[in-house]
């Protein structure tokens, strides 16, 4: 009662510590009443102020909080209804402890297979709805006019093949960044190059990539449209490879060996859905394979999509919002 008297209690809100989180949450907000944003990030705060949205700094005491990362400790009161979303598509890395998921009253996963994996380790809060982050790739939002604007922004030469490179965090032990980063400049004349890196990459590594001529680095903006304007996606065990598959992009993935968070199941899936390689030269061969046969591995990607995603219909955010409305009594 004291907190309510101080007007620090908010019925429902989104927790957005990083703009990457908003890529998952914005397609859900479209189907909910306008909810305030909680953050301690100056960058996030400034962005939402320009959009005319209400922003509050932590600590806050909502009745319901919606987030796209494991940050329940930011809202420790048991009375707070906590709703979570996967940060990436499917579980490309070993799941954390069940208790981390069960801190949520509801945790959305991306497919029935994803749900089965969560329940197998004791997760009781999960529900499958799809992956809101990629909804706009299927609901008509990203039409050709919109995509052409992104092509212009990335300085895409229509006469060249566009390659999108991505890498998971180096310290995860599952990154192939070192396999291609030092040689990427040798491709900049022949191909359009687009790169996206895990947000925890060092400033030194980011600057190394940004210094390569004729390359577009995706920084602090949505990756979806850049995946859509790419011809071939190249990476490792980054969950972005799942997004590329969903959008039917030919995949080339580096084998990175075992680590504490790697999963044999994911390795097997990548072996089926992508051209698997160990070296940069094999990557070049893989590119040529796809240029000769763009539909190579297409049926395998379609199979993988059925495993990773509930439905690729552009309505995951709408499904999630419907469940949230019911659970949290949001009208």
pLDDT on residue 140 = 94
pLDDT band, very low/low/confident/very high, at 8 (cuts 50, 70, 90) = low
Clarify whether residues 59 and 161 are in a common domain.
no
Average model confidence (pLDDT) across the chain: 92
pLDDT band, very low/low/confident/very high, at 200 (cuts 50, 70, 90) = confident
Are the CB atoms for 21 and 45 separated by under 8 Å?
Answer: no
For residue 241, pLDDT beyond 70: yes
Beta strand 162-167 with 232-235: parallel, antiparallel or unpaired?
A: parallel
- pLDDT tens by residue, 295-317: 999 999 999 999 999 999 999 99
Beta strand 232-235 with 215-217: parallel, antiparallel or unpaired?
A: unpaired
Clarify whether residues 155 and 303 are in a common domain.
yes
The neighbour count for residue 148, using CB atoms within 10 Å, is 13
Three-state SS for 87? coil
pLDDT on residue 220 = 83
Clarify whether residues 153 and 266 are in a common domain.
yes
Clarify whether residues 181 and 286 are in a common domain.
yes
Cα separation, 97 vs 284, in Å, equals 39
pLDDT on residue 9 = 62
For residue 49, pLDDT beyond 70: yes
Clarify whether residues 31 and 61 are in a common domain.
yes
pLDDT on residue 1 = 37
Question: Helix, strand, coil: what percent of the chain each, to 5?
Answer: 40, 20, 40
Cα separation, 112 vs 266, in Å, equals 16
Place of tokens 């680095």: 217
pLDDT on residue 260 = 63
For residue 5, pLDDT beyond 80: no
For residue 4, pLDDT beyond 90: no
Tell me whether residue 42 is exposed, middle or buried, using C-beta atoms within 10 angstroms of its C-beta: 0 to 12, 13 to 18, 19 or more: exposed
Q: Which of 3-7, 20-24, 192-196, 276-280 has the lowest mean pLDDT?
A: 3-7
**Token reading at 328:** 């949290």
pLDDT band, very low/low/confident/very high, at 24 (cuts 50, 70, 90) = very high
For residue 262, pLDDT beyond 80: no
pLDDT on residue 201 = 87
Based on the structure, what is the number of domains in the chain? 2
Q: Please provide the distance, in angstroms rounded to a whole number, between the alpha carbons at the two ends of the chain.
A: 23
Clarify whether residues 154 and 252 are in a common domain.
yes
pLDDT band, very low/low/confident/very high, at 278 (cuts 50, 70, 90) = very high
Cα separation, 314 vs 228, in Å, equals 14
Question: According to DSSP H, which parts of the chain are helical?
Answer: 2-5, 19-29, 42-50, 98-102, 112-120, 144-153, 177-180, 203-210, 224-228, 240-246, 264-273, 280-292, 298-308, 316-328
pLDDT on residue 7 = 44
Three-state SS for 7? coil
- pLDDT tens by residue, 157-177: 999 999 999 998 777 777 899
Clarify whether residues 153 and 227 are in a common domain.
yes
Cα separation, 179 vs 181, in Å, equals 6
Clarify whether residues 164 and 87 are in a common domain.
no
Three-state SS for 277? strand
Clarify whether residues 300 and 324 are in a common domain.
no
**Token reading at 245:** 């598959």
The domain containing residue 18 runs over which residues? Answer: 2-135+313-328
pLDDT on residue 53 = 94
Clarify whether residues 156 and 301 are in a common domain.
yes
Average pLDDT for residues 257-273, to the nearest whole number? 81
Q: What is the dihedral of CA 139, 140, 144, 148, to 10 degrees?
A: -60
CATH number at residue 65: 3.40.50.11720
Q: Which of 55-69, 138-152, 169-183, 199-213 has the lowest mean pLDDT?
A: 169-183
What percent of the chain lies above the pLDDT cut of 70? 96
Average pLDDT for residues 188-195, to the nearest whole number? 97
For residue 2, pLDDT beyond 50: no
pLDDT band, very low/low/confident/very high, at 225 (cuts 50, 70, 90) = very high
For residue 106, pLDDT beyond 50: yes
Are the CB atoms for 187 and 198 separated by under 8 Å?
Answer: no
CATH number at residue 168: 3.40.50.2000
């Amino acid at each position: 009662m004291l907190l309510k008297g101080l007007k620090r209690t908010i019925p429902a809100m989104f927790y957005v510590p990083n703009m990457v989180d908003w890529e998952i949450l914005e397609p859900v907000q479209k189907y909910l009443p306008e909810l305030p944003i909680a953050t301690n990030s100056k960058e996030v705060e400034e962005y939402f102020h320009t959009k005319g949205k209400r922003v509050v700094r932590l600590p806050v005491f909502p009745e319901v909080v919606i987030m796209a990362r494991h940050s329940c400790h930011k809202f420790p009161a048991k009375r707070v209804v906590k709703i979570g979303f996967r940060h990436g598509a499917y579980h490309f890395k070993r799941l954390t402890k069940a208790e981390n998921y069960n801190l949520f009253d509801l945790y959305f996963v991306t497919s029935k297979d994803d749900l089965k994996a969560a329940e197998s380790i004791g997760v009781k809060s999960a529900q499958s709805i799809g992956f809101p982050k990629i909804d706009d790739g299927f609901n008509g939002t990203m039409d050709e006019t919109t995509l052409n604007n992104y092509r212009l922004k990335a300085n895409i030469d229509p006469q060249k093949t566009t390659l999108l490179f991505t890498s998971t965090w180096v310290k995860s032990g599952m990154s192939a960044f070192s396999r291609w980063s030092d040689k990427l400049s040798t491709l900049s004349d022949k191909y359009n190059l687009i790169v996206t890196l895990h947000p925890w990459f060092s400033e030194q590594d980011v600057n190394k990539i940004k210094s390569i001529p004729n390359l577009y680095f995706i920084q602090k903006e949505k990756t979806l449209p850049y995946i859509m304007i790419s011809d071939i996606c190249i990476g490792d065990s980054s969950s972005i490879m799942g997004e590329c598959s969903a959008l039917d992009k030919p995949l080339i993935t580096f084998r990175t060996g075992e680590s504490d968070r790697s999963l044999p199941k994911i390795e097997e899936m990548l072996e089926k859905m992508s051209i698997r390689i160990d070296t940069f030269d094999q990557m070049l061969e893989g590119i040529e394979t796809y240029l000769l046969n763009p539909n190579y591995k297409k049926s395998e990607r379609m199979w993988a999509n059925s495993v990773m995603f509930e439905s690729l219909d552009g309505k995951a955010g709408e499904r999630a919002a419907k469940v949230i409305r019911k659970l949290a009594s949001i009208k």
